[in-house]
């Protein structure tokens, strides 16, 4: 079972057979109907890059839930460890190296073409065999996505579609075709006026490319349960 909640923008809670991951937890984004730090304690928080709309409330969540651990590129992890004064609660890593979390769960930081002041921007594959989720992070279209699809066979892809800072709907449809997931959920759109891509445009391009995927359009604060 995979349960996914979208907080808006690029922020998600993903529950994979009881293991809870938060990705880019900007809980207080303009689209999220609730600005409160969730009572649900994540096992892991994954941050794809150091922009404020992705680090979000990471530190507040870690202070509220003192067993939650952070996974991020090495430089971001080190910086947050200093801020919370708890080196043992962060896992610094780099692109391409599988991170073994035990019980069959793994996290793999992936290539993302985007800026970041600390270390490289990343995407991330996380979960376990047959139940991997791919969060592309902020990125332009890259042929690495085909390799991600072939290697990890993610069941779900969380894909930015807003344009300007990331892929737009057309590029996101091409990315989905390369990744070949069972489900795709669009993200990183309409938060600001400049990121204008829409799910309707995304669907149009998916249909034009004849991509065989189930498109799930969530509203901020909404949750979906996927049987896989």
Q: Which pLDDT tens digit goes with each residue over 164-182?
A: 999 999 999 999 999 999 9
Q: Is 116 helix (H, G, I), strand (E, B) or coil?
A: coil
pLDDT of residue 44: 98
Per residue in 13-30, pLDDT (tens digit) is 999 999 999 999 999 999
From residue 30, how far is each of 27, 56, 125, 188, 189 by CA, in Å?
9, 12, 26, 12, 12
Is the whole model's pTM more than 0.95, yes or no?
yes
pLDDT of residue 147: 98
Judge whether residue 88 has pLDDT over 90: yes
Helix-helix angle 199-208:169-179, to 10 degrees? 50
DSSP code, position 228:
-
The string of DSSP letters for 41-110 reads PPSEEE--S-SHHHHTTHHHHHHHSTT-EEEEEHHHHHHHHHHHT-GGGEEEE-TT--EEEETTEEEEEE
Judge whether residue 94 has pLDDT over 90: yes
Q: For residues 191 and 196, give the distance between their C-alpha atoms in angstroms, rounded to a whole number.
A: 9
- pLDDT band (50, 70, 90) for residue 40: very high
Domains in the chain (CATH in brackets) are 2-226 (3.60.15.10)
pLDDT of residue 227: 84
Per residue in 42-71, pLDDT (tens digit) is 999 999 999 999 999 999 999 999 999 999
Judge whether residue 228 has pLDDT over 90: no
């Amino acid at each position: 079972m995979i349960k996914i909640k979208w907080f808006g923008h690029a922020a998600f809670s993903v529950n994979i057979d009881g293991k809870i991951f938060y990705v880019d937890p900007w809980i207080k984004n303009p689209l999220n109907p609730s600005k409160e730090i969730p009572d649900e304690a994540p096992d892991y928080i994954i941050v794809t890059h150091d922009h404020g709309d992705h680090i979000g409330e990471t530190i507040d969540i870690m202070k509220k839930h003192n067993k939650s651990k952070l996974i991020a590129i090495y430089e971001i992890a080190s910086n947050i460890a200093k801020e919370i004064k708890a080196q043992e609660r962060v896992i610094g890593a780099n692109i391409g190296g599988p991170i073994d979390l035990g019980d069959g769960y793994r996290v793999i930081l992936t290539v993302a073409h985007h800026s970041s002041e600390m270390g490289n921007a990343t995407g991330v594959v996380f979960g376990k065999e047959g139940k991997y989720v791919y969060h592309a992070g902020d990125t332009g279209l890259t042929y690495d996505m085909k390799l991600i699809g072939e290697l990890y066979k993610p069941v779900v892809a969380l894909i930015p579609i807003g344009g300007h800072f990331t892929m737009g709907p057309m590029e996101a449809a091409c990315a989905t075709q390369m990744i070949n997931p069972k489900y795709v959920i669009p993200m990183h759109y309409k938060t600001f006026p400049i990121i204008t891509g829409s799910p309707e445009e995304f669907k149009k391009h998916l249909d034009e490319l004849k991509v065989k995927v189930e498109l799930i359009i969530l509203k901020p604060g909404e949750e979906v349960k996927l049987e896989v």
